[in-house]
């Protein structure tokens, strides 16, 4: 049974384990995670691993199942993380860094789904979100920085289509590293970095196959 107060308590506990850096070295494989739904309670999570330099897809895996926990703002990890982790662990290769469709440290309790997954698996993760959730946005030297308690945790970056992405530290990366990798993997004219764009595309395709 999902108990709201226990979820908040666990988030606060796990948030103490989040680390900004050090960055992974020799990053060659980047994975993306996303979830699509059929109705409100059947989810399909997809993990896509690509080559950082060529953007070639190296592997793809999916996990699907009933989702019993309702969507609660700020508690997305309790709804989606299990499916995402199952998909990620089904990949035949281990990525050097994982991009998660969701927030990282830019979260009321400093533990968005990207940070949650990073801490649970002790891996390097980056939060990629299209909508603002939390944090102070400061414009400085043509950069839009995301601050939590005056600490830099990420950046707001422009996509090729002129939209915004909120790119934040998930776990074991720095804000500048997160931004750089994201910008490298943004492929015009698309508005999401390739690993997440592909994970989103494939998860939607799988969901449609059930109709």
Query: Which domain, by its residues, includes 125?
Result: 4-209
| Per-residue pLDDT tens over the stretch 160-201 | 888 999 999 999 999 999 999 999 999 999 999 999 999 999
* Residues linked to residue 48 through DSSP beta bridges, in sequence order: 32, 60
What is the separation of C-alpha 129 from the centre of its chain, rounded to a whole number of angstroms?
A: 7
| Per-residue pLDDT tens over the stretch 97-127 | 999 999 999 999 999 999 999 999 999 999 9
SS3 21: coil
| Per-residue pLDDT tens over the stretch 13-37 | 999 999 999 999 999 999 999 999 9
Phi then psi for residue 126, to 5 deg, are -130, 135
Q: Is the pLDDT of residue 211 over 90?
A: no
Contact, 131 vs 61, CB < 8 A? no
SS3 89: helix
Judged on CB neighbours under 10 Å (0-12, 13-18, 19+), 98 is buried
Distant-in-sequence, close-in-space partners of 20: CB < 8 Å, separation ≥ 6:
105, 153, 169, 173, 174, 175
Q: How many structural domains compose the chain? A: 1
Residue 48: which CATH number? 3.30.2170.10
């Amino acid at each position: 049974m999902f108990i709201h107060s226990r979820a908040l308590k666990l988030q606060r506990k796990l948030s103490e384990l989040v680390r900004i850096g050090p960055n992974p070295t020799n990053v060659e494989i980047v994975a993306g995670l996303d979830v699509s739904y059929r109705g409100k309670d059947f989810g399909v999570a997809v993990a896509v691993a690509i080559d950082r330099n060529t953007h070639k897809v190296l592997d793809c895996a999916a996990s699907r199942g009933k989702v019993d926990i309702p969507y609660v703002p700020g508690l997305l990890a309790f709804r989606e993380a299990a499916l995402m982790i199952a998909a990620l662990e089904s990949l035949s290769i281990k990525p050097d860094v994982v991009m998660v469709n969701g927030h990282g440290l830019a979260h009321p309790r400093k533990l968005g789904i990207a940070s949650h997954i990073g801490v649970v698996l002790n891996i390097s993760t980056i939060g990629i979100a299209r909508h603002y959730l939390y944090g102070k946005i400061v414009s400085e030297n043509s950069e839009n920085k995301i601050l939590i308690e005056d600490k830099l945790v990420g950046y707001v970056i422009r996509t090729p289509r002129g939209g915004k992405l909120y790119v934040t530290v998930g776990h074991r990366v720095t804000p500048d590293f997160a931004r750089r990798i994201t910008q490298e993997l943004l492929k015009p004219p698309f508005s999401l970095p390739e690993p997440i764009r592909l994970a989103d595309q494939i998860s939607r395709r799988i969901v449609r196959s059930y109709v």
